């Protein structure tokens, strides 16, 4: 059990940053791995550490090939460009990152038409929605080419049964399948399933190294060999060709060995934080099964709560109807206690 909250938590010199798992810092071990990396020119296909990471990622996800991308946004875009020609359509959830948070790149740069579908409370779609959205063979419509899903969505895990049903409908209609798995590592940890099982229905999967895994940058795109070859060409076109990228690949390999196995600790910390706030009547707390918690204060409390915590050296998401709080490997059990105390102290003083 965590300690009960003190009425006046002290301000610490150490900031607890809970805005995102992208704020993680490379550990000493990761920095050492980077410094020791054997490198070459990755655009020439000659960086041995990049090749090692790509081969390992392909094996983990049960796919033929992989390519290291600088970012998840570029990885998703390269994947969509590999699946779809100009004027073809991708079906996607309206809350999914590839549609909502990637500056419209697929449409602006690829001429790809997006068909966004409303997601449910946990970010899911249903097979009936997808089936109804697939266009008939009619010259009035864009050609529906791809279904792009996401797992996790705002910390919520999409079940394998739901994913399998959606993918089966797509396959029946001849669609290709992409998974934005920015936090697929968290989904695997929560489900107790292998990455290969989660990736099985998909032609391509994008998996970020710079979120829960704590690497400073990088995403691996895995999939069928011909699609990865197209994605590698798209990476070059988008300016993502890197030279001695083994420095980053070494961080990814280190993260797979040391940070991936401990992701459940982040999930436990998120659950403990949410549980520690259950007695606050003026605050609604929403927690999924992974590393994210959403605080829903009264409108008048949104900015004051964020500012109060900032004054205590605790950073959370921007003031909004739901304020995101994300746990990661830089957050200790003691930090969880301090964050609980910080929120409670705001409401004690209100």
CA-to-CA separations, 270 to 6, 250, 256, 339, in angstroms, rounded? 20, 28, 21, 11
Name the H helices within 221-295: 225-237, 246-258, 263-275
How far is Cα 90 from Cα 106, in angstroms, rounded to an integer? Answer: 9
Query: Would you place residue 9 in the very low, low, confident or very high pLDDT band (cuts 50, 70, 90)?
Result: low
Main-chain dihedrals φ then ψ at residue 238, nearest 5 degrees: -85, 5
Res 111 pLDDT > 60:
yes
Structural domains of the chain ordered from first start: 28-258 (3.40.640.10), 262-349 (3.90.1150.10)
pLDDT tens-digit profile of 168-207?
999 999 999 999 999 999 999 999 999 999 999 999 999 9
pTM score of the predicted model = 0.94
Residue 81 has pLDDT above 50, yes or no: yes
In the chain, beta strands by DSSP E: 16-17, 65-69, 88-93, 113-117, 143-150, 176-180, 204-208, 219-223, 283-287, 292-297, 314-315, 323-326
The pLDDT-based confidence of 10 (bands split at 50, 70, 90) is: low
Q: Is the pLDDT of residue 7 over 70?
A: no
Q: Give the model's pLDDT for residue 6.
A: 43
CA pseudo-torsion sign 28, 30, 32, 35 = negative
> Are 184 and 178 within 8 A, CB to CB?
no
Tell me the CA end-to-end span of the chain in Å, nearest whole number. Answer: 26
Cβ–Cβ < 8 Å for 93, 68: no
């Amino acid at each position: 059990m965590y300690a009960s909250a003190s009425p006046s938590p002290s301000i610490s010199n150490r900031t607890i940053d809970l805005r995102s798992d992208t704020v993680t810092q490379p550990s000493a071990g990761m920095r050492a791995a980077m410094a020791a990396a054997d490198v070459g020119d990755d655009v020439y296909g000659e960086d041995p550490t990049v090749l090692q990471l790509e081969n390992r990622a392909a094996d983990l996800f049960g796919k033929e090939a992989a390519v290291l991308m600088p970012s998840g946004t570029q990885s998703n875009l390269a994947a969509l460009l590999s699946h779809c020609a100009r004027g073809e359509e991708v079906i996607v959830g309206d809350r999914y990152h590839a549609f909502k948070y990637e500056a419209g790149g697929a449409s602006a740069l690829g001429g790809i038409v997006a068909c966004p579908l409303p997601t449910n409370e946990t970010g899911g779609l249903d097979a009936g929605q997808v089936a109804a959205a697939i266009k008939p063979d009619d010259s009035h419509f864009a050609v529906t080419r791809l279904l792009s899903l996401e797992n996790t969505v705002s910390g919520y895990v999409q079940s394998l049964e739901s994913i399998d049903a959606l993918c089966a409908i797509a396959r029946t209609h001849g669609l290709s399948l992409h998974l934005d798995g920015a936090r697929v590592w968290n989904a695997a940890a929560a489900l107790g399933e292998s990455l290969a099982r989660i990736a099985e229905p998909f032609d391509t999967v994008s998996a970020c190294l710079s979120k829960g895994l704590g690497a400073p940058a990088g995403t691996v795109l895995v999939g069928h060999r011909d699609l990865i070859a197209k994605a590698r060409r798209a990476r070059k076109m988008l300016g993502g060709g890197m030279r001695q990228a083994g420095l980053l690949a070494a961080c990814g390999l280190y993260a797979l060995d040391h940070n991936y196995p401990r992701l459940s600790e982040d999930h436990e910390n998120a659950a403990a934080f949410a549980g520690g706030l259950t007695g606050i009547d003026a605050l609604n707390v929403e927690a999924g099964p992974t590393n994210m918690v959403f605080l829903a204060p009264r409108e008048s409390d949104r900015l004051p709560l964020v500012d109060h915590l900032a004054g205590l050296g605790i950073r959370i998401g921007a003031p909004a109807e739901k304020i995101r709080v994300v746990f990661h490997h830089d957050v200790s059990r003691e930090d969880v206690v301090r964050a609980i105390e910080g929120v409670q102290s705001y409401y004690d003083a209100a």
